[in-house]
Amino acid sequence: MSEILKIKNLKKNFGKLDVLKGINISVKKGEVIVIVGPSGGGKSTFLRCADLLEEINEGNIIFEDSEIDFNSKADRKKYFIKTSMVFQQFNLFPHKTVLQNLILAPIKIKKIGKKDAEEKAINLLKRVSLLDKANSYPCNLSGGQQQRVAIARALMMDPHLMFFDEPTSALDPELVGEVLAVIKELANDGMTMMIVTHEMGFAREVADRIVFIDSGVIVEECRPEKFFYQPENERVKEFLNRIIA
Amino acid sequence: MDIMNSFSLLLNGAWITLYISGFSMVFGLVLGTVIGLMRVSAKKYISVPAGVYVEFLRGTPLLVQIFLIYFGLPAIGMDIPSNIAAVLALSINSSAYIAEIVRSGIQSVDKGQFTASTSLGFSYFQTMINIILPQAFRNTLPTIGNEFIALIKESSLISVIGIAELTRQGQFIISRTFMSFEIYAGVALIYFVMTFSVSRIFKAVEKRMAIA
């Protein structure tokens, strides 16, 4: 498998607070990386930096063999188009219907014709079992439905890499499963993904690699079986104990 | 001077009030939106001039602004007809208030909207046009309605530069008939019909734009 993303020595601070203290990671095509760790450890900030949604203080990102110039608008745009982010709070556009939410970016940014975009949107809505909601507004959907729409919206751009920032943290417990099911299906289809989550069962099931971030550094990086059943690192053990307890 | 004649003079004045206010609303809205967008810019050389513009226009009397444009511009060699001067003064004055409304509207939109739109590949400008402004306008519709109503009422000030709008026509009729109470009551009633119509129109638009 070839590398799709390589992040070198990524550093980020908010004022005097060093949130990320040099993160190095590479992601292979088709790989599912699940990022876990204690709250405030820098997981979400890392993901947002990796998707260029936060300004990066130091480091390099190499995507599909070319280094991104953070100051180049064209570079950033290209990267945004080829990657997609799914947010904790869904962030659907409330003034647009589900269908309009899906087709807006492909039409405006990829210059796809409206008919083609709609056809594609309908197929994706079928895939997330929400075809009947195509003409509803987001506020009339449950959290789980909104998040599935958000995933469909992200897929509309045919991303090469997807980021998920705690996709189920804002959901009622009974709605978590339907969203995780969609993400699992994507994993089975070979989508390259980086997922920040607190759902440990899901992490174990879906991850090719678990990355444990604490205090702004990667503390442990290994296969899920090893991470959950034979952890060696003390901080990982402590983290797992706290979750189980 | 008979009643019918007075009435048609008043209606004529009302029409002038209406069209001057109408043009000023449109120009004020467009200009105000641009200034509002400038206000929220992260670039200081864009946001600071917009801030100065707003503060200056909010901090000086409309009457003085009207004089400044109507008497001041000719003094520096720019002669403009009084109705153009009136529309110009009202539009510019209104744009400052609209700019503040637009600014607060933009800031009231959830930040996640900006993030989501950026991550989909929209530029700053595309995000504003497609995602942020439509929501900002929806949120601020009642306030914009207030501003339009204020504009209609304040347009009575342009009578001082000789425009035969509603208030001035009223004064003219009174100078002939001495029926102050009746005529001013009529003038007030016509203003009320106009502002109440605007208020109703905005209510209807709000209803239509509300998401079930």
Pairwise CB contact (< 8 Å): A53 & B134: no
Q: Nearest CB to A108: which of B112, B126, B211?
A: B126
pLDDT in tens, A12-31: 999 999 999 999 999 999 99
Minimal CA separation from A80 to chain B, in Å: 5
Q: At residue A50, does pLDDT exceed 80?
A: yes
pLDDT computed for residue B102 by the predictor: 97
Pairwise CB contact (< 8 Å): A95 & B138: yes
pLDDT computed for residue B4 by the predictor: 80
The pLDDT > 70 percentage for chain A reads 99
Nearest C-alpha neighbor of B97 from the set B135, B150, B142 = B150
pLDDT in tens, B113-139: 999 999 999 999 999 999 999 999 999
A167, A146 Cβ separation under 8 angstroms = no
CA dihedral A157, A104, A95, B115 (to 10 degrees): 50
Cβ–Cβ pairs < 8 A, chains A and B: 59
Pairwise CB contact (< 8 Å): A80 & B126: no
Domains detected in chain B:
3-209 (1.10.3720.10)
Strand bridging mode A193-196 / A209-214: unpaired
The model's pTM is 0.89
Q: Could you give phi then psi for residue B81, rounded to 5 degrees?
A: -65, 155
Q: At residue A1, does pLDDT exceed 60?
A: no
The b/e string for A158-185 (b: 16+ C-beta within 10 A; e otherwise) is ebbbbbbbbbbeebeeebbebbbebbee
Mean pLDDT for chain B?
94
pLDDT computed for residue B128 by the predictor: 96
Burial class (CB in 10 A: 0-12, 13-18, 19+), B23: middle
Closest residue of chain A to B135, computed from CA coordinates: A95
pLDDT computed for residue A222 by the predictor: 94
Pairwise CB contact (< 8 Å): B135 & A95: yes
Pairwise CB contact (< 8 Å): B119 & A85: yes
Q: Helices marked H in B59-129 — which ranges?
A: 62-67, 73-75, 82-108, 111-120, 124-127
CB of A45 within 8 Å of a chain B CB? The answer is no
pLDDT in tens, B142-184: 999 999 999 999 999 999 999 999 999 999 999 999 999 999 9
pLDDT in tens, A164-218: 999 999 999 999 999 999 999 999 999 999 999 999 999 999 999 999 999 999 9
CB of A77 within 8 Å of a chain B CB? The answer is yes
pLDDT band of residue B77 (cuts 50, 70, 90) is confident
Q: At residue A244, does pLDDT exceed 80?
A: no
pLDDT in tens, A99-121: 999 999 999 999 999 999 999 99
Burial class (CB in 10 A: 0-12, 13-18, 19+), B82: middle
Closest residue of chain B to A50, computed from CA coordinates: B119
**What amino acid occupies position A87?**
F
Q: At residue B6, does pLDDT exceed 90?
A: no
Pairwise CB contact (< 8 Å): B119 & A80: yes
pLDDT computed for residue B1 by the predictor: 60
CB of A93 within 8 Å of a chain B CB? The answer is yes
Pairwise CB contact (< 8 Å): A53 & B121: no
pLDDT computed for residue B78 by the predictor: 86
* Residue matched to tokens 């409309």: B62
Q: At residue B212, does pLDDT exceed 80?
A: no
Using an 8 Å CB-CB cutoff, list chain B residues near A81.
121
Minimal CA separation from A68 to chain B, in Å: 15
